[in-house]
Amino acid sequence: MTQLILLNKPFGAVCQFPAVAGRTTLKDYVPVPAVYPAGRLDTDSEGLVVLTDDGRLAYSIHDHFHKHMVEGILRNLDEESQEAVILAAEKLYEFFLKVKAEDMLEDH
């Protein structure tokens, strides 16, 4: 069964699992083996990080950010949590657009 973890990454944590000398990483907050972030947040930001052990799902979140999946998640949350997820989703989507644009510029 696919594991899906939603983590509110705190400010200052590095958005990766391998240890970074003297830095807090996702590994310090998620003691689950073999899950990885589907996207990243800057160390100096906080917000929703989706973690999964399913590579296809991670790619799907990263590449398309499926609307129906977000709606399914939101249906089960209170209003404050919905707002936090929507804000984090918007930031994640903006990040992916930026990365895609940078990749396109590098290709030319």
Known catalytic residues are 42
Q: How far apart are alpha carbons 23 and 3 in whole angstroms?
A: 26
Q: Which residue, 60, 51, 54, 61, is CA-closest to 17?
A: 51
Q: How many angstroms separate the Cα of 48 from the Cα of each of 8, 36, 104?
A: 5, 13, 26
CB 49 within 8 A of CB 84: no
